[in-house]
A and B are shown apart, each in its own frame.
Chain A
Amino acid sequence: MGTTDVTDPRYYHRVVDCQWACPAHTNVPGYIRLIAQGRYADAYLLNRESNVFPGVLGRTCDRPCEPACRRGRIDADPVAICRLKRVAADLRGDITDRLPKPATRKNGKRVACVGAGPASLTVANDLLPFGFDVTIFEQSAEPGGLMRVNIPAFRLPASVLDEEIGYITSLGADMRYGTRIDSMRALLEQGFDAVFVGSGAPKGKELDIPGRWDAPSQVHIGIDWLANVHFGHVREVAPRVLIIGVGNTAMDCCRTVKRLGATDVKVIARRGRKQFKASPWELADAEEEQVEIVEYHAPRRFVVEGGVLTGMEFDRVEWHTDARGRQVSTVVGETTIPCDVVILAIGQDNAFPWIETDIGIDFDQWGMPTVDKATHQSTRAGVFFGGDAAWGPENIIWAVAHGHQAAISIDAHCHGRSVAERPPEGMTLTSAKIGMHAWAYENAYDLASRARMTHESLEKRFADLSVEVELGFTPEQAAREVQRCLNCDIQTHFTASLCIECDACIDVCPTTCLTITTNGDSEEALRTRLSAPAVNTDQPLYVSDGLPQTKRVMVKDEDVCLHCGLCAERCPTAAWDMRTFDLRLPYAGQGAA
């Protein structure tokens, strides 16, 4: 293998599993260390740089970082990254004077955003400080999109949303509430320099099986129903409810109906638990509230008697893998489950009835816009898409990541630069050594197991729809949990010319990451010669230049490095050093003037 190029920021970035997995590349170890130091406001602001809504996300994020977290490969449970974010938000104190300020000089560029969900808000957040005029058109009376109308208040209090959205709107966004955009043509005619479409995926999927339309008042579409609860149009529900589907929406529906008086709540899934879309923690929370999860049931028809829905008929199915490796089901029986209400939570579709087909914005056969993955630009220059509107339903953190990228494009477009030329990621790498045997981080390994979130009692949480269930970590819990983080951003950095091949680093490494061996042409072959070949091969191998004495190479398998720094402590020549890696992400406003 060739010598690894560690000057490419992507090498060390990949080593920070959580940051790599986060769509917005939040500097997780950085903020966890700040929390450990009690610097909650700094931790909050570091978060906010990349993910914009730390308080919201610290409660609701889909957490792609956690399954990726290195700690999970060491002792089964990842660091509670997400809830530590909430700690930073809860304890941050007053940070208002450290937030970006409204621009003092306008740059004369006008940007329109459709929808006030997280994607549009991120665009506004990134552009307003640089003097852009940003107008956000939102059909409802409040900002936040699905974060507000669909995510129930018992998971995300309105005050948290208000505060963090307020940080953005107070930068001078022109908020046009109650204004639905009905024609893209008309919007374009208003002469904006750029338009961002952040209108989400607003249409809940239908289940068109027999009986669907025979008792319409008893069958609801999940996302619409949740919105109706939010707006107070729905205040109670009949005792027996079936939720069809087992994704995030289903989880929020089942927990909401429990709070509106339902006593017998079943979530019906076609597949087994392993294939569920809902996250394991959401399932656990629902089950804690005595929601029953029913696996392997495929809906056949609604049972309606005399215009009244009395139940639903299901095929009981079994799944197996066919000759081509696909999952196929066979029907092994049928059941009828009695119920008074059915809520369909089987997914969302995009819908753009308001975008004319003859204005240069191309759509594919499924009605999705043709959007460039990197620039977020549609086929019409100056019109950008992001969030759920771009490629279908995702989550808040993806919407934020899209917002950042779209803002970079809008900035470039408005200033006549090419949107295709993306500003590069950068990094800084500074030695973490602050003495003979002292590091700028705590390198000791803490054996603690993952902290458990305390929940409000069932009694209290069912008393009021908006009682927040999760109480957050106590400062003591947080202080312990931060020590579980392995500081993956404190990187092992090697200088081949200094190595005397004493083996000290190899002998001391607790997880056998290091090998000095002869190089070969393929990574595959090299992996077989490692002292301890990795189970997980997603993490890269570092391969050094030839070593001075024997011309062999130092190979480091990044997979289970604990970043304990022992290799650097035992190295007599400082060939291994621990260096703090700081990824420099590009944002709007940093491009050439």
Chain B
Amino acid sequence: MTSIAKPPVRHPSARLNGLGLALRDYEGAMSTLCAGCGHDSVTAALVQACWELDLPPHRAAKMSGIGCSSKTTAYFLKQSHGFNSVHGRMPSVTSGAAAANRGLICIGISGDGDSLSIGLGQLSHAIRRNVDMLYVLENNGVYGLTKGQFSASADLGSRSKRGEANEQAPIDPVLLALALGATFVARSFSGDKQQLVPILKAGLAHKGLALIDVISPCVSFNDHEGSTKSYAFTRAHEVEAVHADFIPLRHAITVGEGSEPVQVVQLHDGSSVRLRPTADDYDPTDRDSAYAHVRGCQARGEIATGLLFVDETGKDMHDFLHTVETPLIDLPYEQLCPGAAAMDDLMSRYR
């Protein structure tokens, strides 16, 4: 907790974005998380990404479950919609919101507990349905809010603050998402905004569910010696597999700048990402290649980060369900609720 609100003062050279908003206009309430929590840095990265994208705050819906991570939706985009749902239920509430209003930019924030334990089924089906949303999984290897029990993402052998080692194999959200057919899979680190911000921007521009597993250390319960989700451990074992640069719409793309191989993936809204894999045999547009690479890293004790896989040709929930283009709120009442006669007509088709 901080003793005062952040002073409403701007740096004299602060710029405004395309909507005439300053970076600080994308902030939210003062964080009540522990000082030094990785989640706060993810919040700052989201503020930066949304500001740089000229994202209209009133079009965004911030969705979350329960956990310290799930609290972060209060700390950015103070002028947006939001729904703080029950534990593990963020994906289904988001599915409903996205189904009702296609115009919303859904930003789901969850934790490793929220998504990989109680909410695992929810996450899996949101991926399978390919809900058009940004899914940020703030991964600290513990249930932070309930005082540091191991979560399902805790690595084998990782030690708790009291010294016990974790003996169950972890669920890796990246491998899970790749296996379930996710169309945008990335991993990053709260302590590396240079990597995280472009990935968040690409994820927001992606059509379908963009899963970003962000290693986000818990300073209070999982930042000690023996932890595999601490600041120091993550820094020492992180290997950036793919470097991504986000190129906004109407920005000249200079393919193949420099000597490294570069793949450019055009995103749904006309913007694009430039992907620069660090290993020769790695193709971030090939699911099997991505899966193999992440597994390989895992075997070597490395943490593979970057925009690991992207497929912009996939269908999303609206395509599967053949929903109307117009958000339901904008449909005329007669169309939204065509009346008893139309209902009878519909029913008669099933007789």
Contact = CB atoms under 8 A, between A and B. Distances in A.
B11 to A, nearest CB: 4
A460 B35 CA distance: 59
A572 B35 contact: yes
B339 interface: no
A454 B37 CA distance: 50
Contacts of A569: 2-3, 35
A416 B293 CA distance: 80
A508 B219 contact: no
B231 interface: yes
Given A500-B36, A504-B35, A504-B41, A444 B231 contact: no
Given A438-B3, A508-B2, A569-B35, A500 B231 contact: yes
Given A445-B7, A500-B232, A507-B44, A535 B13 contact: yes
B35 A560 contact: no
A570 B2 contact: yes
Contact of B9 (A74, A502, A533, A573): A74
B65 interface: no
Given A511-B10, A511-B11, A503 B3 contact: no
Interface string A553-571: 0000000101011100111
B12 A73 contact: yes
A560 B235 contact: no
B303 to A, nearest CB: 15
A437 B30 CA distance: 15
Contacts of B219: 500, 502, 572
A501 interface: yes
Contacts of A571: 35-36
Given A532-B14, A572-B36, A503 B193 contact: yes
A564 B43 CA distance: 21
Nearest to A575: B36
Interface in B22-73: 24, 31, 34-38, 40-41, 43-44
Contact of B2 (A75, A502, A550, A566): A566
Contacts of A507: 40-41, 43-44
Contacts of B8: 445, 447, 510
B9 A511 contact: yes
B6 interface: yes
Given A500-B223, A549-B232, A572-B219, A510 B7 contact: yes
A534 interface: yes
A429 B261 CA distance: 54
Contacts of B10: 511
Interface in A411-465: 437-439, 443-445, 447
B347 interface: no
- The interface size bin for chain A is 35 or more
Nearest to A502: B36
A532 B10 CA distance: 11
Given A500-B231, A502-B217, A570-B2, A445 B36 contact: no
A503 B41 contact: yes
Please report whether the interface of chain B is mostly helix, strand, loop or mixed according to DSSP: loop
Interface in A466-520: 500-504, 506-508, 510-512
A550 B235 contact: yes
A503 B13 contact: no
Contact of A503 (B1, B2, B191): B191
B83 to A, nearest CB: 24
Nearest to B236: A549
B4 interface: yes
Interface in B137-193: 190-191, 193
A443 B217 CA distance: 29
A453 B38 CA distance: 48
Contacts of A549: 231-232, 235
Given A500-B231, A549-B231, A550-B235, A443 B3 contact: yes
Nearest to B12: A535
Given A445-B8, A507-B43, A573 B3 contact: no
A443 B4 contact: yes
A550 B235 CA distance: 8
Contacts of A501: 191, 231, 235
A469 to B, nearest CB: 34
Given A444-B4, A549-B232, A504 B9 contact: no
Contacts of B232: 500, 549
Contacts of A74: 9, 12
Contacts of A443: 3-4
Interface in B234-286: 235
Contacts of A533: 13
B216 to A, nearest CB: 10
A536 B34 CA distance: 34
A562 B4 CA distance: 13
A292 B297 CA distance: 81
Q: Which of B7, B8, B14 has the most CB of A within 10 A?
A: B7
A73 B24 CA distance: 18
A79 B37 CA distance: 36
Q: Which of A504, A533, A572, A573 has the most CB of B within 10 A?
A: A504
Given A500-B223, A549-B232, A569-B3, A445 B37 contact: no
A73 B12 CA distance: 8
Nearest to B235: A549
Contact of A564 (B7, B191, B231): B7
A556 to B, nearest CB: 13
Given A503-B44, A511-B10, A437 B3 contact: yes
Contacts of B36: 500, 502, 504, 570-573
Interface in A543-593: 549-550, 560, 562, 564-566, 569-573
Interface string B110-132: 00000000000000000000000
A564 B35 contact: no
Contact of B190 (A437, A503, A535): A503
Nearest to B41: A503
A562 B13 contact: no
Interface string A60-83: 000000000000011100000000
A503 B51 CA distance: 19
A130 B320 CA distance: 93
A570 B30 CA distance: 11
Nearest to A500: B231
A534 B34 CA distance: 30
A560 B1 contact: no
18 contacts: A73-B12, A437-B3, A502-B217, A503-B44, A503-B190, A504-B35, A507-B44, A510-B6, A510-B8, A510-B9, A510-B24, A511-B11, A549-B231, A550-B235, A562-B9, A569-B35, A570-B40, A573-B36
10 closest A-B pairs by CB: A572-B36, A445-B7, A507-B44, A437-B3, A502-B36, A444-B4, A532-B11, A503-B41, A572-B35, A570-B35
Given A511-B11, A560-B12, 7 more contacts: A443-B4, A501-B235, A502-B217, A503-B40, A534-B13, A562-B7, A570-B35
